[in-house]
Structure 1
Amino acid sequence: MFYLLRRLLVSFVSTIVFFAVYVAIGDVLLAAIAATATVIAQLVLGWTAYGSRGGMTWASFAVVLTLTGTTFAGDDPATSGNWISSQQLAPVNATCRPTLRHI
């Protein structure tokens, strides 16, 4: 069981690096670059040491590329934030005033 968990962690280290760099820095591009460099290092080490690398490393790389691609596909700097800033937002007076009852 421990061997299996260790292999999964080693295989998904690029995804772990991606999320760690994103949480630490907050930049998706730098996180993707760090994760891609990690995958390249994993593949080179896997090919030189073992002759091949497992499919989980490729799956981890696919997860990183998918997350990065969907983030950049949805991020349009020309229109980001225009929807909220174009609306007129006014505070609503929704307080309940208690009525005074005379006993």
Structure 2
Amino acid sequence: MANITYIEHSGASHVVEVEAGWSVMKGAVRNGIPGIEAECGGALVCGTCHVYVDEQWLARTTPPEDAEKELLESVSAPCGNSRLSCQMLVSPELDGLIVRMPEAQG
């Protein structure tokens, strides 16, 4: 398990325990966190699970693979710390991870 903090664009914060092995997206969906639409269910085709990884956590996450990088080019307001939460697997090392949602998904 890892505690993940999801911060909505409005600033509302949600801290939830997410099972190791789940994606950050699955943790959000299963816990009813608003702001992550996850239309494709994690199939890496829609980009509606876009998040910004808090800068202090970037070095602790695995870098995005080419398919994720390509899809990130089509999301709203991509940044250097943008990730698709469906591609980020939760592990005990990510306990305390902070992700922020963009103003809009898609």
Fold match by TM threshold 0.5: no
Question: For this structure pair, what is the TM-score category when the shorter chain's length is used for normalisation?
Answer: under 0.3
TM-score by length of 2: 0.25
TM-score by length of 1: 0.25
Greater relative contact order structure (CA < 8 Å, 6+ sep): 2
**Is the helix fraction higher in 1 or 2?**
1
